[in-house]
């Protein structure tokens, strides 16, 4: 098993980042994919992400709200946003979000009550070049030890065309 790097509530494998949010004990982490490493028998939660993505002139705006359908609360969670195209090297990230490689941004969601909504996450990234489309994948990478047996609603794939139109997920 690989050693993880603790960054104030965010667990990342093999990547050094500057941080993100307040101190939270590391209670659960994942390896190469979202489901690996979650403790069987932990509290059960059901995370979901719903929002929109829009692209114009190589800029992608993403806005979504996390939700925990329960039955248990989630002490802290982190979501991964992965683009099919590389991001421009230097760009500002909103509080709670950090780059994790050429095509990935991690955002701390924080604690979510059972059957509760989290704070809306909003970010804008600039893609390298000016692609006519990009595939955006969103998934949970850390859930604070909670187990999510319904992986259908916390994994989203959205094809975003460079038209300025909003694509909902």
Instruction: Give the tokens for residue 12.
Output: 């990342």
Q: Rounded to whole angstroms, how far apart are CA atoms 160 and 63?
A: 13
| CA 108 to chain centroid | 7
b or e along 40-77 (b: 16 or more beta carbons within 10 Å of the residue's beta carbon)?
eebbebbbbbebebbbeebbbbbebebbbbbebbbbbb
Structure tokens at 52: 């929109």
Q: Cis link prior to 71 (omega < 30° from 0)?
A: yes
CATH architecture, domain 5-168: Sandwich (2.60)
Confidence of residue 55 (pLDDT cuts 50, 70, 90): very high
DSSP state at residue 86: P
pLDDT band at 19 (very low <50, low <70, confident <90, very high): very low
Assess contact for 67 and 117: CB atoms under 8 A. yes
Report d(CA 85, CA 71) in Å as an integer.
Answer: 36
Average pLDDT over residues 138-167: 92
The predicted model gives 135-141 an average pLDDT of 96
Local confidence band at 154 (pLDDT 50, 70, 90 cut-offs): confident
Helix, strand and coil percent figures for the chain, each rounded to 5 = 0, 45, 55
How sure is the predictor about 41, in pLDDT bands with cuts at 50, 70 and 90? low
pLDDT, one tens digit per residue, over 63-106 is: 999 999 999 999 999 999 999 999 999 999 999 999 999 999 99
Domain ranges of the chain: 5-168
pTM of the model: 0.75
Could you write out the DSSP letters of every residue in 15-65? ------SS--------SSSTTTTPPTTS-B--EEEEEEEEEETTEEEEEEE
Share of the chain above pLDDT 70, in %: 76
Q: Which of 61, 163, 148 is nearest to 105 (CA)?
A: 61
């Amino acid at each position: 098993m690989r050693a993880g790097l603790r960054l104030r509530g965010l667990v990342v494998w093999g990547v050094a980042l500057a941080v993100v949010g307040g101190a939270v004990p590391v209670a659960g982490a994942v390896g190469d994919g979202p489901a690996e490493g979650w403790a069987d028998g932990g509290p059960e939660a059901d995370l979901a992400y719903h929002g929109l993505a829009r692209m114009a002139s190589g800029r992608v705006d993403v806005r979504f709200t996390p939700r925990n359908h329960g039955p248990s609360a989630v002490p802290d969670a982190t979501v991964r946003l992965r683009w099919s195209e590389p991001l421009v090297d230097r760009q500002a990230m909103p509080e709670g979000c950090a780059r994790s490689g050429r095509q990935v941004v991690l955002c701390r969601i924080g604690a979510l009550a059972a059957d509760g909504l989290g704070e809306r996450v909003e970010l804008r990234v600039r893609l390298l070049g000016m692609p006519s489309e990009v595939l955006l994948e969103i998934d949970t990478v850390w859930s604070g030890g909670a187990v999510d047996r319904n992986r259908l609603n916390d994994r989203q794939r959205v094809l975003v065309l460079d038209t300025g139109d909003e694509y909902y997920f």
